[in-house]
Amino acid sequence: MTIPSPALGPLVAVYGLVGHDERLLVVHDPDAVTYRLPGGHVRAGGAVEDALLRTLRAQVDADVAHLTFYAVVELREHHTSTQPSVFELALLFDVTLADPGAVQVDHGDARWATDTDLRHLDLRPTAIADRLRTGAAAREQPWWPA
């Protein structure tokens, strides 16, 4: 009797909603023409907060003064019938930087985006971008199902 191996659970990612002067910090995806919020995947066995602090330091060389949980977004990426679907839980945090003016931006890797910019940028994941663009992102609604 063969027992099937259990399916892997969802990937876990952490992203920062980093704001300053009515703008939102976005980073350029080095493998594409898209942008995303600063952050990335949480390593197996790693702490969520540590992952966010580590990726912010690597992506924009920024120190965090304060962070607060904001929401969890369930993301589903569907592939072809030969590839399995990918499920990701994206944890969003409201991030205050110690010195937002010191962030290395506008060198192709990161930029401060206005509301107008967000409507025109190819921001991923799309589920998060859509909520940010429509103003539907709210701390009062911490779970955003796919």
pLDDT of the residue at 2 = 46
pLDDT of the residue at 61 = 87
Predicted confidence (pLDDT) at residue 75 exceeds the cutoff of 80:
yes
pLDDT: is 100 or 135 the higher one? Answer: 100
Q: 18-144 sits in which CATH class? A: alpha beta
CA atoms of 113 and 43, how far apart (whole Å): 28
pLDDT of the residue at 64 = 92
Dihedral sign of CA atoms 32, 110, 26, 57 in order: positive
Q: pLDDT by residue (tens digit) across 111-139?
A: 899 999 999 999 988 888 988 888 776 66
pLDDT of the residue at 51 = 95
Q: pLDDT by residue (tens digit) across 8-67?
A: 678 899 999 999 999 999 998 777 789 999 999 999 889 999 999 999 988 888 889 999
Q: Which two tokens stand for residue 89?
A: 């839980």
pLDDT of the residue at 5 = 44
- Give SS3 for 70: strand
How far is C-alpha 3 from the chain's CA centre? 36
Environment class of 14 (CB within 10 Å of its CB; exposed 0-12, middle 13-18, buried 19+): buried
Question: Using alpha carbons only, how large is the chain's radius of gyration in Å?
Answer: 16
pLDDT of the residue at 87 = 82
Q: Which residues of 89-117 are buried (b: 16+ CB within 10 A; e: fewer)?
A: ebbbbebebeebeebebeeeebbbbeeee
Q: Are strands 123-124 and 35-36 parallel, antiparallel or unpaired?
A: parallel
